[in-house]
Amino acid sequence: MKKANKILFILIFLSFQYSLAQDSLKISAQQFISVVKNYHPLALKYQLQNKIAQSEIIKARGAFDPVLGGKLGEKNIDGTQYYQQKNLELGIPTWYGIDLTASYNHLDGQKLNTSDTKGGLYQMGITIPLAKNLLYDKRRAILDQAKFAQKMTEAEQTVLTNDLLLEAENTYWEWVQSFEIYQLQTKAVEINKKRLNFTQKTLEYGEVPAIDTVEALSQLQNFELQQKEAYLNFVKATQQLQLFLWKDNQELYEISQLIYPSDDLSDHMAYSDFEFLLQDLQTKDIANHLSILYYIQKQNILESERKLKWQSFLPKIDFTYNFFNKENYRADFLPLFDNNFQYGLKLEIPVFQREARASYQIAKIKINQNQLDTQLKGRELATKIETYRNEVLNYHSQIDLSQSNLGNYKKLLAAEETRYSNGESSLFLINSRENKMIDAQAKLISIKTKFVKSYNKLKWMKESFSF
Protein backbone atom coordinates (compact mmCIF):
# COMPACT_ATOMS: atom_id res chain seq x y z
CA MET A 1 0.00 0.00 0.00
CA LYS A 2 2.75 2.42 0.97
CA LYS A 3 4.74 1.49 -2.16
CA ALA A 4 1.68 2.11 -4.35
CA ASN A 5 1.19 5.52 -2.72
CA LYS A 6 4.81 6.43 -3.45
CA ILE A 7 4.45 5.43 -7.11
CA LEU A 8 1.26 7.51 -7.41
CA PHE A 9 2.92 10.51 -5.78
CA ILE A 10 5.91 10.25 -8.15
CA LEU A 11 3.60 10.15 -11.18
CA ILE A 12 1.72 13.23 -10.00
CA PHE A 13 4.97 15.02 -9.16
CA LEU A 14 6.37 14.22 -12.62
CA SER A 15 3.26 15.72 -14.19
CA PHE A 16 4.00 18.88 -12.19
CA GLN A 17 7.56 18.88 -13.49
CA TYR A 18 6.38 18.36 -17.06
CA SER A 19 4.28 21.48 -16.75
CA LEU A 20 7.29 23.28 -15.32
CA ALA A 21 9.42 22.27 -18.31
CA GLN A 22 6.77 23.63 -20.68
CA ASP A 23 6.08 26.95 -18.98
CA SER A 24 5.86 27.08 -15.21
CA LEU A 25 4.79 24.82 -12.39
CA LYS A 26 1.10 24.08 -12.99
CA ILE A 27 -1.49 21.78 -11.49
CA SER A 28 -4.91 20.74 -12.75
CA ALA A 29 -8.02 20.18 -10.65
CA GLN A 30 -7.85 16.45 -11.32
CA GLN A 31 -4.23 16.23 -10.17
CA PHE A 32 -5.01 18.30 -7.10
CA ILE A 33 -7.98 16.14 -6.05
CA SER A 34 -5.89 13.00 -6.60
CA VAL A 35 -3.22 14.30 -4.21
CA VAL A 36 -5.81 15.22 -1.57
CA LYS A 37 -7.57 11.87 -1.84
CA ASN A 38 -4.39 9.81 -1.50
CA TYR A 39 -2.21 11.85 0.85
CA HIS A 40 -4.28 14.24 2.95
CA PRO A 41 -4.11 13.21 6.65
CA LEU A 42 -7.89 13.40 7.08
CA ALA A 43 -8.50 11.13 4.07
CA LEU A 44 -6.02 8.62 5.48
CA LYS A 45 -7.58 8.93 8.94
CA TYR A 46 -11.00 8.06 7.53
CA GLN A 47 -9.54 4.97 5.83
CA LEU A 48 -7.97 3.88 9.12
CA GLN A 49 -11.31 4.32 10.87
CA ASN A 50 -12.80 1.75 8.49
CA LYS A 51 -10.03 -0.68 9.39
CA ILE A 52 -10.82 -0.20 13.07
CA ALA A 53 -14.45 -1.12 12.37
CA GLN A 54 -13.31 -4.27 10.55
CA SER A 55 -11.13 -5.21 13.52
CA GLU A 56 -14.10 -4.73 15.86
CA ILE A 57 -15.92 -7.50 13.97
CA ILE A 58 -12.98 -9.85 14.38
CA LYS A 59 -12.90 -8.93 18.07
CA ALA A 60 -16.62 -9.73 18.44
CA ARG A 61 -16.14 -13.10 16.72
CA GLY A 62 -13.61 -13.90 19.43
CA ALA A 63 -16.50 -14.52 21.83
CA PHE A 64 -17.26 -17.67 19.80
CA ASP A 65 -13.68 -18.97 19.81
CA PRO A 66 -13.14 -22.39 21.42
CA VAL A 67 -11.17 -22.19 24.67
CA LEU A 68 -8.55 -24.80 25.51
CA GLY A 69 -7.40 -24.99 29.12
CA GLY A 70 -5.26 -27.14 31.36
CA LYS A 71 -4.53 -27.46 35.04
CA LEU A 72 -1.91 -29.17 37.19
CA GLY A 73 -2.11 -29.29 40.96
CA GLU A 74 -0.89 -31.14 44.03
CA LYS A 75 -1.28 -30.83 47.80
CA ASN A 76 1.23 -32.49 50.17
CA ILE A 77 1.49 -31.95 53.95
CA ASP A 78 3.84 -33.87 56.29
CA GLY A 79 4.47 -36.53 53.71
CA THR A 80 0.76 -37.05 53.07
CA GLN A 81 -0.35 -36.47 49.51
CA TYR A 82 -3.80 -35.00 49.77
CA TYR A 83 -4.33 -34.90 46.02
CA GLN A 84 -2.57 -34.77 42.67
CA GLN A 85 -4.58 -33.46 39.75
CA LYS A 86 -4.14 -33.19 35.98
CA ASN A 87 -6.88 -31.59 33.93
CA LEU A 88 -7.33 -30.75 30.23
CA GLU A 89 -10.57 -29.22 28.93
CA LEU A 90 -12.07 -27.69 25.81
CA GLY A 91 -15.00 -25.24 25.79
CA ILE A 92 -16.92 -24.55 22.57
CA PRO A 93 -19.46 -21.67 22.59
CA THR A 94 -22.08 -21.88 19.83
CA TRP A 95 -24.28 -19.31 18.08
CA TYR A 96 -27.52 -20.19 19.88
CA GLY A 97 -26.20 -19.70 23.40
CA ILE A 98 -25.41 -23.38 23.86
CA ASP A 99 -22.02 -24.20 25.34
CA LEU A 100 -20.28 -27.53 24.70
CA THR A 101 -17.49 -28.84 26.92
CA ALA A 102 -15.14 -31.79 26.86
CA SER A 103 -12.43 -32.63 29.37
CA TYR A 104 -10.10 -35.23 30.76
CA ASN A 105 -9.34 -35.20 34.48
CA HIS A 106 -6.91 -37.44 36.35
CA LEU A 107 -7.12 -37.30 40.14
CA ASP A 108 -5.16 -39.25 42.76
CA GLY A 109 -4.40 -38.84 46.47
CA GLN A 110 -5.01 -40.06 49.99
CA LYS A 111 -7.54 -37.46 51.15
CA LEU A 112 -9.96 -36.78 48.32
CA ASN A 113 -13.48 -35.43 48.73
CA THR A 114 -16.15 -38.07 48.66
CA SER A 115 -17.66 -36.41 45.55
CA ASP A 116 -14.37 -36.67 43.63
CA THR A 117 -13.62 -39.58 41.30
CA LYS A 118 -10.22 -41.16 41.61
CA GLY A 119 -8.28 -42.03 38.48
CA GLY A 120 -8.80 -40.84 34.91
CA LEU A 121 -12.21 -39.46 33.96
CA TYR A 122 -13.48 -38.31 30.57
CA GLN A 123 -16.33 -35.83 30.48
CA MET A 124 -18.55 -34.41 27.74
CA GLY A 125 -21.13 -31.78 28.62
CA ILE A 126 -23.67 -29.30 27.31
CA THR A 127 -25.28 -26.19 28.83
CA ILE A 128 -28.55 -25.00 27.30
CA PRO A 129 -30.38 -21.77 28.23
CA LEU A 130 -34.09 -22.59 28.22
CA ALA A 131 -35.43 -19.03 28.43
CA LYS A 132 -33.12 -16.03 28.78
CA ASN A 133 -30.24 -15.99 26.24
CA LEU A 134 -31.73 -18.80 24.14
CA LEU A 135 -32.98 -16.64 21.24
CA TYR A 136 -30.50 -13.80 21.74
CA ASP A 137 -27.59 -13.12 24.05
CA LYS A 138 -24.76 -10.66 24.58
CA ARG A 139 -22.30 -12.57 22.37
CA ARG A 140 -24.62 -12.47 19.37
CA ALA A 141 -25.58 -8.86 20.09
CA ILE A 142 -21.96 -7.69 20.16
CA LEU A 143 -21.21 -9.40 16.86
CA ASP A 144 -24.35 -8.05 15.19
CA GLN A 145 -23.60 -4.55 16.46
CA ALA A 146 -20.01 -4.76 15.23
CA LYS A 147 -21.26 -5.65 11.71
CA PHE A 148 -23.76 -2.80 11.74
CA ALA A 149 -21.09 -0.46 13.11
CA GLN A 150 -18.77 -1.33 10.23
CA LYS A 151 -21.42 -0.35 7.64
CA MET A 152 -22.19 2.71 9.73
CA THR A 153 -18.53 3.71 9.81
CA GLU A 154 -18.06 3.11 6.07
CA ALA A 155 -21.04 5.37 5.32
CA GLU A 156 -19.82 8.09 7.66
CA GLN A 157 -16.24 8.03 6.42
CA THR A 158 -17.33 8.15 2.78
CA VAL A 159 -19.45 11.24 3.44
CA LEU A 160 -16.62 12.88 5.40
CA THR A 161 -14.13 12.10 2.62
CA ASN A 162 -16.47 13.59 0.01
CA ASP A 163 -16.90 16.69 2.17
CA LEU A 164 -13.11 17.01 2.32
CA LEU A 165 -12.79 16.64 -1.45
CA LEU A 166 -15.58 19.19 -1.98
CA GLU A 167 -13.78 21.69 0.22
CA ALA A 168 -10.51 20.99 -1.60
CA GLU A 169 -12.02 21.32 -5.08
CA ASN A 170 -13.82 24.57 -4.27
CA THR A 171 -10.58 25.90 -2.80
CA TYR A 172 -8.90 25.08 -6.12
CA TRP A 173 -11.50 27.01 -8.12
CA GLU A 174 -11.31 29.97 -5.75
CA TRP A 175 -7.59 29.88 -6.45
CA VAL A 176 -8.32 29.85 -10.22
CA GLN A 177 -10.61 32.85 -9.71
CA SER A 178 -7.88 34.82 -7.95
CA PHE A 179 -5.45 33.94 -10.75
CA GLU A 180 -7.84 35.04 -13.51
CA ILE A 181 -8.53 38.31 -11.67
CA TYR A 182 -4.77 38.84 -11.47
CA GLN A 183 -4.45 38.13 -15.20
CA LEU A 184 -7.28 40.59 -15.90
CA GLN A 185 -5.58 43.35 -13.93
CA THR A 186 -2.20 42.58 -15.52
CA LYS A 187 -3.72 42.91 -18.98
CA ALA A 188 -5.32 46.22 -17.98
CA VAL A 189 -1.92 47.48 -16.79
CA GLU A 190 -0.29 46.53 -20.11
CA ILE A 191 -3.02 48.27 -22.12
CA ASN A 192 -2.76 51.44 -20.06
CA LYS A 193 1.03 51.52 -20.32
CA LYS A 194 0.65 51.56 -24.10
CA ARG A 195 -2.06 54.21 -23.84
CA LEU A 196 0.18 56.41 -21.66
CA ASN A 197 3.06 56.08 -24.14
CA PHE A 198 0.70 56.93 -27.01
CA THR A 199 -0.70 59.95 -25.13
CA GLN A 200 2.80 61.24 -24.35
CA LYS A 201 3.79 60.98 -28.02
CA THR A 202 0.63 62.70 -29.26
CA LEU A 203 1.26 65.45 -26.69
CA GLU A 204 4.65 66.09 -28.30
CA TYR A 205 2.82 66.76 -31.57
CA GLY A 206 0.35 69.04 -29.83
CA GLU A 207 -2.63 66.84 -30.65
CA VAL A 208 -3.84 66.37 -27.05
CA PRO A 209 -3.81 68.63 -24.00
CA ALA A 210 -1.25 67.99 -21.25
CA ILE A 211 -4.00 67.04 -18.82
CA ASP A 212 -4.59 63.87 -20.85
CA THR A 213 -1.19 62.53 -19.81
CA VAL A 214 -2.19 63.05 -16.16
CA GLU A 215 -5.46 61.24 -16.84
CA ALA A 216 -3.64 58.34 -18.52
CA LEU A 217 -1.06 58.13 -15.73
CA SER A 218 -3.74 58.16 -13.02
CA GLN A 219 -5.62 55.35 -14.79
CA LEU A 220 -2.40 53.32 -15.08
CA GLN A 221 -1.52 53.81 -11.42
CA ASN A 222 -5.04 52.82 -10.42
CA PHE A 223 -4.73 49.54 -12.34
CA GLU A 224 -1.23 48.95 -10.99
CA LEU A 225 -2.63 49.21 -7.44
CA GLN A 226 -5.41 46.78 -8.36
CA GLN A 227 -2.86 44.45 -9.93
CA LYS A 228 -0.78 44.38 -6.76
CA GLU A 229 -3.89 43.71 -4.68
CA ALA A 230 -4.92 40.92 -7.07
CA TYR A 231 -1.43 39.41 -6.87
CA LEU A 232 -1.57 39.47 -3.07
CA ASN A 233 -4.96 37.73 -3.15
CA PHE A 234 -3.55 35.13 -5.53
CA VAL A 235 -0.63 34.46 -3.18
CA LYS A 236 -3.05 34.09 -0.26
CA ALA A 237 -5.20 31.69 -2.28
CA THR A 238 -2.06 29.70 -3.14
CA GLN A 239 -1.25 29.40 0.55
CA GLN A 240 -4.78 28.12 1.23
CA LEU A 241 -4.33 25.61 -1.58
CA GLN A 242 -1.06 24.43 -0.07
CA LEU A 243 -2.90 23.31 3.08
CA PHE A 244 -4.35 20.44 1.02
CA LEU A 245 -1.05 19.34 -0.55
CA TRP A 246 0.71 16.53 1.32
CA LYS A 247 3.37 13.95 0.55
CA ASP A 248 3.08 10.19 1.02
CA ASN A 249 4.97 10.40 4.35
CA GLN A 250 2.37 12.84 5.76
CA GLU A 251 4.65 15.83 5.34
CA LEU A 252 3.25 19.10 4.06
CA TYR A 253 4.19 19.69 0.42
CA GLU A 254 6.35 22.79 0.50
CA ILE A 255 5.92 25.05 -2.54
CA SER A 256 9.31 26.59 -3.34
CA GLN A 257 7.86 28.76 -6.12
CA LEU A 258 4.46 30.00 -7.17
CA ILE A 259 2.33 27.42 -8.94
CA TYR A 260 -0.40 28.21 -11.43
CA PRO A 261 -3.66 26.49 -12.39
CA SER A 262 -3.74 24.65 -15.70
CA ASP A 263 -7.56 24.77 -15.79
CA ASP A 264 -9.76 27.74 -16.67
CA LEU A 265 -13.16 28.59 -15.26
CA SER A 266 -14.58 28.78 -18.79
CA ASP A 267 -13.48 25.22 -19.60
CA HIS A 268 -15.12 23.55 -16.59
CA MET A 269 -17.28 20.53 -17.36
CA ALA A 270 -20.12 22.07 -15.34
CA TYR A 271 -21.33 24.06 -18.34
CA SER A 272 -22.05 20.93 -20.37
CA ASP A 273 -22.91 18.50 -17.56
CA PHE A 274 -24.99 20.44 -15.06
CA GLU A 275 -28.34 19.55 -16.69
CA PHE A 276 -27.47 15.83 -16.68
CA LEU A 277 -26.41 16.11 -13.06
CA LEU A 278 -29.70 17.74 -12.10
CA GLN A 279 -31.67 15.02 -13.90
CA ASP A 280 -29.60 12.30 -12.26
CA LEU A 281 -30.17 13.72 -8.79
CA GLN A 282 -33.93 13.78 -9.40
CA THR A 283 -33.86 9.98 -9.71
CA LYS A 284 -32.01 9.55 -6.41
CA ASP A 285 -33.91 8.47 -3.33
CA ILE A 286 -32.87 10.39 -0.21
CA ALA A 287 -33.13 7.12 1.72
CA ASN A 288 -30.11 5.86 -0.25
CA HIS A 289 -27.85 8.72 0.78
CA LEU A 290 -25.01 7.49 2.96
CA SER A 291 -25.90 9.99 5.68
CA ILE A 292 -29.31 8.30 5.95
CA LEU A 293 -27.76 4.82 5.73
CA TYR A 294 -25.59 5.84 8.66
CA TYR A 295 -28.71 6.35 10.78
CA ILE A 296 -30.28 3.16 9.42
CA GLN A 297 -27.28 1.14 10.61
CA LYS A 298 -27.42 2.98 13.92
CA GLN A 299 -31.08 1.96 14.13
CA ASN A 300 -30.03 -1.66 13.61
CA ILE A 301 -27.55 -1.35 16.48
CA LEU A 302 -30.24 0.12 18.75
CA GLU A 303 -32.70 -2.62 17.74
CA SER A 304 -30.08 -5.21 18.63
CA GLU A 305 -29.67 -3.56 22.02
CA ARG A 306 -33.45 -3.54 22.50
CA LYS A 307 -33.66 -7.27 21.73
CA LEU A 308 -30.89 -7.91 24.22
CA LYS A 309 -32.58 -5.84 26.92
CA TRP A 310 -35.87 -7.70 26.33
CA GLN A 311 -34.10 -10.92 27.30
CA SER A 312 -33.81 -9.52 30.83
CA PHE A 313 -37.57 -9.98 31.31
CA LEU A 314 -37.19 -13.75 30.85
CA PRO A 315 -36.25 -16.01 33.72
CA LYS A 316 -32.75 -17.44 33.58
CA ILE A 317 -33.16 -21.21 33.30
CA ASP A 318 -29.96 -23.06 32.40
CA PHE A 319 -29.86 -26.82 31.96
CA THR A 320 -26.48 -28.55 32.22
CA TYR A 321 -25.78 -32.19 31.42
CA ASN A 322 -22.42 -33.97 31.68
CA PHE A 323 -21.61 -37.52 30.63
CA PHE A 324 -18.68 -39.25 32.36
CA ASN A 325 -16.58 -42.27 31.45
CA LYS A 326 -13.76 -43.62 33.54
CA GLU A 327 -10.43 -44.31 31.90
CA ASN A 328 -10.10 -47.87 30.51
CA TYR A 329 -13.86 -48.42 30.85
CA ARG A 330 -16.21 -49.08 27.94
CA ALA A 331 -18.35 -46.04 27.16
CA ASP A 332 -22.03 -46.47 27.86
CA PHE A 333 -23.93 -43.41 26.55
CA LEU A 334 -27.51 -44.55 26.69
CA PRO A 335 -29.78 -44.16 28.46
CA LEU A 336 -28.64 -40.63 29.33
CA PHE A 337 -29.99 -40.57 32.86
CA ASP A 338 -29.12 -44.15 33.82
CA ASN A 339 -25.42 -44.16 34.71
CA ASN A 340 -22.24 -42.01 34.56
CA PHE A 341 -23.98 -38.66 34.33
CA GLN A 342 -24.45 -35.35 36.08
CA TYR A 343 -27.12 -32.76 35.41
CA GLY A 344 -28.22 -29.48 36.90
CA LEU A 345 -31.04 -26.97 36.47
CA LYS A 346 -30.49 -23.39 37.57
CA LEU A 347 -33.29 -20.84 37.90
CA GLU A 348 -33.03 -17.07 38.52
CA ILE A 349 -35.99 -14.67 38.46
CA PRO A 350 -35.64 -10.99 39.43
CA VAL A 351 -38.62 -10.21 41.64
CA PHE A 352 -39.37 -6.60 40.69
CA GLN A 353 -37.48 -6.43 37.36
CA ARG A 354 -36.88 -2.72 37.82
CA GLU A 355 -33.50 -2.84 36.07
CA ALA A 356 -34.96 -4.78 33.14
CA ARG A 357 -37.89 -2.39 32.74
CA ALA A 358 -35.69 0.71 32.91
CA SER A 359 -33.06 -0.66 30.51
CA TYR A 360 -35.72 -1.70 28.01
CA GLN A 361 -37.43 1.69 28.22
CA ILE A 362 -34.12 3.50 27.64
CA ALA A 363 -33.44 1.31 24.59
CA LYS A 364 -36.85 2.20 23.11
CA ILE A 365 -36.32 5.92 23.73
CA LYS A 366 -32.95 5.81 21.96
CA ILE A 367 -34.66 4.19 18.97
CA ASN A 368 -37.25 6.97 18.87
CA GLN A 369 -34.50 9.59 19.09
CA ASN A 370 -32.65 8.02 16.18
CA GLN A 371 -35.84 7.96 14.11
CA LEU A 372 -36.23 11.70 14.69
CA ASP A 373 -32.58 12.26 13.74
CA THR A 374 -33.15 10.26 10.54
CA GLN A 375 -36.16 12.36 9.57
CA LEU A 376 -34.27 15.56 10.32
CA LYS A 377 -31.24 14.46 8.26
CA GLY A 378 -33.49 13.50 5.33
CA ARG A 379 -35.11 16.91 5.38
CA GLU A 380 -31.73 18.60 5.63
CA LEU A 381 -30.40 16.68 2.61
CA ALA A 382 -33.48 17.41 0.51
CA THR A 383 -33.20 21.12 1.34
CA LYS A 384 -29.50 21.17 0.47
CA ILE A 385 -30.08 19.53 -2.90
CA GLU A 386 -32.87 21.96 -3.73
CA THR A 387 -30.75 24.92 -2.61
CA TYR A 388 -27.74 23.84 -4.65
CA ARG A 389 -29.99 23.14 -7.64
CA ASN A 390 -31.45 26.66 -7.49
CA GLU A 391 -27.94 28.10 -7.15
CA VAL A 392 -26.70 26.27 -10.24
CA LEU A 393 -29.68 27.34 -12.37
CA ASN A 394 -29.55 30.93 -11.12
CA TYR A 395 -25.79 31.37 -11.57
CA HIS A 396 -25.97 29.81 -15.04
CA SER A 397 -28.57 32.38 -16.10
CA GLN A 398 -26.47 35.12 -14.47
CA ILE A 399 -23.49 34.05 -16.57
CA ASP A 400 -25.46 34.55 -19.80
CA LEU A 401 -26.68 37.94 -18.61
CA SER A 402 -23.22 38.96 -17.40
CA GLN A 403 -21.61 37.95 -20.71
CA SER A 404 -24.17 40.00 -22.60
CA ASN A 405 -23.55 42.95 -20.28
CA LEU A 406 -19.78 42.62 -20.78
CA GLY A 407 -20.26 42.57 -24.54
CA ASN A 408 -22.18 45.85 -24.32
CA TYR A 409 -19.43 47.47 -22.25
CA LYS A 410 -16.85 46.37 -24.83
CA LYS A 411 -18.92 47.96 -27.60
CA LEU A 412 -19.28 51.17 -25.61
CA LEU A 413 -15.51 51.28 -24.99
CA ALA A 414 -14.76 50.65 -28.65
CA ALA A 415 -17.22 53.38 -29.68
CA GLU A 416 -15.70 55.80 -27.18
CA GLU A 417 -12.22 55.10 -28.52
CA THR A 418 -13.47 55.78 -32.05
CA ARG A 419 -15.03 59.07 -30.94
CA TYR A 420 -11.80 59.98 -29.15
CA SER A 421 -9.78 59.37 -32.30
CA ASN A 422 -12.20 61.70 -34.11
CA GLY A 423 -11.76 64.38 -31.45
CA GLU A 424 -15.33 63.96 -30.17
CA SER A 425 -14.56 62.45 -26.76
CA SER A 426 -12.03 62.58 -23.95
CA LEU A 427 -9.62 60.24 -22.25
CA PHE A 428 -11.68 60.60 -19.09
CA LEU A 429 -14.70 59.03 -20.79
CA ILE A 430 -12.54 56.23 -22.23
CA ASN A 431 -11.18 55.47 -18.76
CA SER A 432 -14.69 55.50 -17.33
CA ARG A 433 -15.87 53.02 -19.97
CA GLU A 434 -12.81 50.86 -19.40
CA ASN A 435 -13.31 50.78 -15.63
CA LYS A 436 -16.86 49.59 -16.06
CA MET A 437 -15.75 46.94 -18.54
CA ILE A 438 -13.04 45.67 -16.15
CA ASP A 439 -15.61 45.57 -13.34
CA ALA A 440 -17.96 43.59 -15.59
CA GLN A 441 -15.17 41.12 -16.43
CA ALA A 442 -14.34 40.65 -12.74
CA LYS A 443 -18.05 40.19 -11.99
CA LEU A 444 -18.30 37.52 -14.68
CA ILE A 445 -15.32 35.65 -13.22
CA SER A 446 -16.93 35.79 -9.78
CA ILE A 447 -20.27 34.45 -11.06
CA LYS A 448 -18.50 31.64 -12.94
CA THR A 449 -16.73 30.66 -9.73
CA LYS A 450 -20.01 30.60 -7.80
CA PHE A 451 -21.58 28.48 -10.54
CA VAL A 452 -18.71 25.97 -10.49
CA LYS A 453 -18.73 25.77 -6.67
CA SER A 454 -22.49 25.12 -6.62
CA TYR A 455 -22.06 22.46 -9.29
CA ASN A 456 -19.36 20.82 -7.18
CA LYS A 457 -21.69 20.75 -4.18
CA LEU A 458 -24.23 18.81 -6.20
CA LYS A 459 -21.56 16.58 -7.73
CA TRP A 460 -20.13 15.49 -4.38
CA MET A 461 -23.65 15.19 -2.96
CA LYS A 462 -24.33 12.67 -5.74
CA GLU A 463 -21.11 10.79 -4.87
CA SER A 464 -22.49 10.25 -1.38
CA PHE A 465 -25.43 8.19 -2.62
CA SER A 466 -25.00 4.42 -2.26
CA PHE A 467 -26.02 3.87 -5.91
Name the residue with higher pLDDT: 370 or 417.
370
Domain ranges, ordered by start, for the chain: 26-61+138-306+355-463, 65-94+98-132+316-349
- E-strand ranges in 266-370 read 316-326, 341-348
Q: How far is CA 439 from CA 16, 115, 227, 443, in A?
A: 33, 101, 13, 6
**Closest among 194, 229, 247 to 434, alpha carbons compared:** 194
Q: How far is CA 365 from CA 303, 314, 359, in A?
A: 11, 21, 10
Inform me whether the pLDDT recorded for 20 exceeds 50.
no
Q: What is the mean pLDDT of residues 174-183?
A: 96
Q: Nearest 5°: phi and psi at 75?
A: -130, 125
Lowest mean pLDDT among 8-12, 32-36, 119-123, 251-255: 8-12
CA 332/CA 324 separation, integer angstroms: 9
Q: What is the mean pLDDT of residues 209-232?
A: 90
Contacts of 4 (CB under 8 A, 6+ apart): none
Inform me whether the pLDDT recorded for 408 exceeds 90.
yes
Query: Which of the listed CATH numbers 3.30.930.10, 1.20.1740.10, 1.10.150.20, 1.20.1600.10 matches domain 26-61+138-306+355-463?
Result: 1.20.1600.10
State pLDDT tens for residues 111-137: 777 777 777 888 899 999 999 988 999
Global pTM value: 0.84
Lowest mean pLDDT among 12-26, 41-55, 170-184, 427-441: 12-26
CA 410/CA 403 separation, integer angstroms: 11
- Class of residue 254 by CB neighbours under 10 A (exposed 0-12, middle 13-18, buried 19+): exposed
Q: Give the pLDDT score at 199.
A: 81
Contacts of 286 (CB under 8 A, 6+ apart): 292, 378, 381, 382
